[in-house]
Structure 1
Amino acid sequence: MELVIDNLSKTYANGVKALQNISLDIPTGMFGLLGPNGAGKSTLMRTIATLQEADQGSIKLGDIDVLQQKNELRQVLGYLPQQFGLYPKISAEVLLNHFAVLKGIINKKERQELVKALLHKTNLYDVRKQNLKGFSGGMKQRFGIAQALVNNPKLLIVDEPTAGLDPVERNRFYNLLSELGEKTVVILSTHIVDDVKELCTNMAIINKGQVCLKGKPLEILESLKGRVYQKTIEKSELNLYKENFQVISERLFLGKPTIHIVSNTNPGEGFTAINAELEDVYFSEIFNVTNAKSI
């Protein structure tokens, strides 16, 4: 199974070009969609999920024309949006059973077995009788995945799923998504680079509604091999370095900024060559698109 997006564009009534000729081939497995807030990730996810129309282009999941066969796509789609509501005074077991009814699973025994299996898969079986208002953020996210899996989807979309989760909950979520990606097309839309680094065998970076880069994370890292340098500087020097170098990231270390730059030649001046990380690739691509837009 493969999801093929071809020349997809969307412009909102206020003139914002949310998507500009997006083309992606997404195979079975975990696919990471990276980009800053406002890059167009959620617009793309909603369009794939048939929640809004595109201005032009096509999307196909196997033999399904997503933009023309919305009902067929919804039958094989699992979707966990960035924000979703839950009934706080209902237990996880009861609400998941309700979702199964809505998905057309009318046989009671079959439905009970499915709900039990999903609660085990998402590590929520022991709290199945607990009302959802008492769930932690990570537990709510895992319940969100459980409801998205009710119809055994061929395509699963998760939009910013680990934002706000503590490290333990995030690792649990990583393990769950990784297992699901073995047999399903899973799109993980996020601005957290570690999510993609830990999980995804294929990825794309989008910004300003455009695809900046796409490929396999390990192969993409090769594009910056031998070109990333690091230096710790004084705060007062930061603007000067930004004027003279391609500064792609900065972070504080012992109260001083440590900057990463991209350079085709050794810049000298106390810079140290470092191995490129996926985060460096991400910031480099965001830097390039942002500067191109400002010229």
Structure 2
Amino acid sequence: MELIIDNLSKTYANGVKALQNISLEIPTGMFGLLGPNGAGKSTLMRTIATLQEADTGTIALGDINVLKQKNELRQVLGYLPQQFGLYPKISAEVLLNHFAVLKGITNKGERKELVESLLHKTNLYQVRKQNLKGFSGGMKQRFGIAQALLNNPKLLIVDEPTAGLDPVERNRFYNVLSELGEHTIVILSTHIVDDVKELCTNMAIINQGQVSLKGNPLQILEELKGKVYKKTINKQELNEYKQNYKVISDKLFLGKPTIHILSDVNPGDGFIQIDAALEDVYFSQIFNNTNLKTNK
């Protein structure tokens, strides 16, 4: 099954063009949607999840016309939004059971088995009796995934799921999503490059409401092979280097900026060639609008 998005556009009443002719084909597996805050990622996720309308375009999940058959889509959709509320004085087990009832799982035995299975899957079974107010950020996110899986979805959308998580919780969350991606279309919307690098076999970068790049991360990295160079410079030199080179990123190292540039030839001048990272691809698209080959 594939999720096919074709020429999707959305302009808000204030004139902001949140989506501009977005077209994507998303197969079963983990699909990373990268972009800065305000790029249009959340608008796209909410539109796919039938929470808001598009102006033009179509979305199809198999035989389901998402924009017209909203109820049919919701029956096979799991959704974890960027922010969601939980009842703090209820245990994880009780609340998940309540959500299962709301999802239409009326058989008590079947519901109990499903709730226990999902608590095991998300590594929450040992704390199932604990009230949610005592959960860490990562535990709450894993609970969010558990409730999103109650209907055994064919499409799972997670919007900025690892923001604010510590490395241990992030790795646990990675493991849960990776397992789910074996049999489900999972869309991971994020501005954290490592999330996509660790999990996704396909990706797209969206910026200012448009898809600037899409494809397999490894194939995309091949396009930058031999073209990325770095150098540590003085702070006062940064603007000069930005004028003379295609600087795609700068970071402080021991108090001095280390810059990464794109160049088809060895620039000399003390630059060292390095292996391209997905972060270099991301910055080249977001900040410099560099035209890499895509499979559009």
If the length of structure 2 is used for normalisation, what is the TM-score? 0.97
Asked if 1 retains the 8 angstrom alpha-carbon contact of 2:284 and 2:290, the reply is no
Aligned pairs for 1:185-204 (under 5 A) are 185-204=185-204
- Structure 1, residues 81-134: CA drift from partner, whole Å, max 9, x if none? 000000000100010001000100000000000000000000000110110000
Match of 1:174 in 2: 174
The one-letter amino acid paired with 1:55 is D
2:91 is aligned with 1:91: yes
Q: What is the CA-CA distance between 1:211 and the residue it aligns to? A: 0.3
Structure 2 contact 248–288 (Cα < 8 Å) conserved: no
Partners of 1:246 and 1:127 in 2: CA distance = 51
Given that 2:59 and 2:66 are in contact with CA atoms closer than 8 Å, whether structure 1 keeps it comes out as: yes
TM-superposed deviation, 1:202: 0.3
Paired letter, 2:235: K
| Alignment check: 8 A CA contact 1:10 1:54 kept | yes
Instruction: Measure, in 2, the Cα distance between the counterparts of 1:101 and 1:204.
Output: 36
Number of residue pairs the alignment of both structures matches: 291
Consecutive aligned runs of 4 or more in structure 1 exceeding 4 Å deviation = none
Q: Percent identity?
A: 86
CA offsets 1:40-68 (integer angstroms, 9 cap, x no match): 00000000000000000000000000000
SS in 1 for 2:96: helix
2:234 matched residue in structure 1: 234
Q: Secondary structure at the match of 2:288?
A: helix
Assess if the C-alpha contact under 8 Å between 1:20 and 1:209 holds in 2: yes
- Unaligned 5+ segments in structure 2 are 292-296
Q: Kindly indicate whether residue 291 of structure 2 is the aligned counterpart of residue 288 of structure 1.
A: no
Query: 1:277, CA displacement in angstroms?
Result: 0.4
CA drift of 1:286 comes to 0.8
- SS state of the match for residue 284, structure 2? helix
**1:288: Cα distance to partner?**
3.0
Tell me the residue number matched to 1:219.
219
For residues 229-268 of structure 1, the aligned pairs below 5 Å read: 229-268=229-268
Equivalence for 1:106: 106
For the Cα contact (< 8 Å) 1:230–1:274, is it kept in 2? yes
Alignment pair present for 1:50 and 2:47:
no
User: In the aligned structure 2, how far is the partner of 1:231 from the partner of 1:114?
Assistant: 54
Superposition RMSD on alpha carbons, in Å? 1.0
CA displacement at 1:290 relative to structure 2 = 9.4
Amino acid across the alignment from 1:214: K
Cα 1:290–1:11 shift into 2, 3 Å: farther
CA contact (8 A) 2:26 2:185 kept: yes
